[in-house]
Amino acid sequence: MLVFTDLSRTPELAGAAERLGIIDSQPFLIGEDGEFDREVNAFLRSLIDPSSPGRNTWRTYAYHLVRFLGWLEQQQIAWRAVDRSVLRHYYTQRRFSQKRPVSARTWNNIAAALTRFYEWATMTGKIAKSPVSYRDIRAGRMTAVPGAQRIRSVIMESVPASPVRYLPLRVYLAQFRPAFGGTRTAERDRAFADLLISTGMRINEANSLLLGDLPDPDAVECRGKKTVPLTLHRGTKGRKVRVIRIPVHVLRTVYRYIAEDRKNAVAMLTARERPAELWLSESGRPMKTARWHAVFRRASQLSGVSCTPHMLRHAFAIHQLTAMIQCLLTDPALATPSQPPYQVLLRDPLRQLQQLLGHASMTTTFIYLDCLEEADRLLDDSLGNWTVPLQSMVDEQ
């Protein structure tokens, strides 16, 4: 049985957990007989490491590993005895043989978990050699070092990029946002969704905010500004601190939630019991990511518009990039030969968007260009301009 620590439900154990080095959301595996598998749990504990992006990764790796170990038990195979043929058999079972086969992307998540587990087992001397080998793949030209070699686990599939799914702002405002109404947590849910679509935060980043993280929209330094900086310290991918911008009007929406829904949620709690987290359930407990997904599923059903929290992140990226490119198209500086439009595009909007979204590589940010009519117009203008001399050559022939 896979369990995760939840210190928000057992605050009286927080002191003991700190002494033992146990943190919130830490995964543990307990056998059906109540036995504690020391070796597997040692691996799960090793996930809490600077090289692991965060709690979602721990949870995902733990879930996939435990399912794999359960399958091995059914096959009467010890995890130390696994070789390439066993992994191939498991791949076939998960991808093609069962009633609900997993997608290639899901399989790659499984493969990442198994690769990490057997790497750990090899490094700690549990096994002599990992059953997972690697192959070199030539990196594309968008990497830091063109032509560099990267490695990939051989049990991973090559997955083509999928189209970006996002919610246009007009659909969000006219159909999806109103679906949050009619509940006791309407202010909370609308404020959270507005925050996602206006900042591009990941759900974990937004849900990890503390009450004290929010800037004061009435502060002197905020007067006359449309947006204010917000520093993200927790929940970020790779645990990297970054600064984003939050529109002042959205910040005021969040403060309305604090004054209404959140105030009601903590009304029956003592000052010591009140959580520092910004987003709370009706009972005053910190919201879990799964609860937010349930909120979005309900709104999707009521509105008839399918939307996930991550789709609002994509919506922010596309609308923000569109707005920045539109500013470029009206900038007289672009008309000068010394400022080729594509260079300005790479240096300014895409780089700024990369920083706002917290992408480690600009390659990830490039996916949004395929969604923009403005990018096509910028390409049309720039390509049409620099090829004008060719026309004169043709006319002379």
Q: Could you report the per-residue pLDDT of 46-72, keeping only the tens digit for each?
A: 877 666 556 777 788 888 988 898 899
Compare 330 and 2 and report the one with higher pLDDT. 330
The pLDDT-based confidence of 209 (bands split at 50, 70, 90) is very high
- Report, as an integer, the average pLDDT of 267-272: 89
Q: What pLDDT, on the 0 to 100 scale, is given for residue 53?
A: 54
pLDDT tens track for 77-90: 999 999 999 999 99
Would you state the pLDDT for residue 297? 97
CATH 1.10.150.130 fits 2-132, yes or no: yes
Residue 39 to residue 29: CA distance in whole angstroms: 10
- Measured CA to CA, the distance from residue 52 to residue 58 in angstroms comes to 8
CATH for 169-311 (1.10.3720.10, 1.10.443.10, 3.40.50.720, 2.60.120.1030): 1.10.443.10
pTM over cut 0.75: no
Residue 201 neighbours by CB under 8 Å, 6+ apart = 195, 232, 244, 313
57 vs 92: which has the higher pLDDT: 92
Domain coordinates in residue numbering, the chain: 2-132, 169-311, 319-396
* End-to-end alpha carbon distance in the chain: 79
Rounded CA separation 359/86 (Å): 36
Tell me what the mean pLDDT of segment 149-158 comes to: 65
Q: Is the pLDDT of residue 250 over 50?
A: yes
Average pLDDT, integer, range 308-316: 90
